[in-house]
Amino acid sequence: MWTNVDRLYNWMLRHLPFVRQDFATLRADQYPIRLWTVAGLVFGALPLLRARGIGRLVVGDEFDTSLRESFHGLSHYGGLYDQSRWFDAALTRYYGKKGWGVEQLSVLRPLSELLVQKMLAERYPDLHRWQVSCHAAHLDGDRALPCGRCEKCRRVVGMHVAFGADPGVCGYTPSQVREALVGLCSRDVHQEASTAEHVLWKLAREGRLPEGAVAARAARPHPEVMKLRFDAEHSPWEGLPTDLREPLLRIFLEHAEGAVARRGRAWEPVEVIGAGASVSEEG
Give the model's pLDDT for residue 218: 80
Count up the domains in the chain and report the number: 2
Q: What is the C-alpha separation between 221 and 33, in angstroms, rounded?
A: 36
Residue 123 contacts by C-beta under 8 Å, 6 or more apart in sequence?
Answer: 251, 254, 255
- Indicate whether 238 and 190 sit together in one domain: no
- Indicate whether 126 and 190 sit together in one domain: yes
- Indicate whether 212 and 135 sit together in one domain: yes
- Indicate whether 139 and 238 sit together in one domain: no
Q: What is the C-alpha separation between 264 and 271, in angstroms, rounded?
A: 18
Indicate whether 53 belongs to any domain. Answer: no
- The more confidently predicted of residues 96 and 137 is 96
Strands 259-263 and 266-269: antiparallel
**pTM of structure:** 0.88
Question: Facing residues of 230 across strands?
Answer: 261
pLDDT at 243 over 80: yes
Averaged pLDDT for residues 219-233: 95
Identify the domain containing residue 242 by its residue range: 227-283
Give the model's pLDDT for residue 145: 94
Indicate whether 178 belongs to any domain. Answer: yes
What's the N-to-C CA distance of the chain in angstroms? 36
Averaged pLDDT for residues 55-61: 95
Averaged pLDDT for residues 91-105: 96
Of the residues 206, 221, 236, the one at which a domain ends:
221
Indicate whether 92 belongs to any domain. Answer: no
Of the residues 168, 199, 221, the one at which a domain ends:
221
Of the residues 197, 221, 245, the one at which a domain ends:
221
- Indicate whether 198 and 250 sit together in one domain: no
Give the model's pLDDT for residue 278: 67
- Indicate whether 212 and 234 sit together in one domain: no
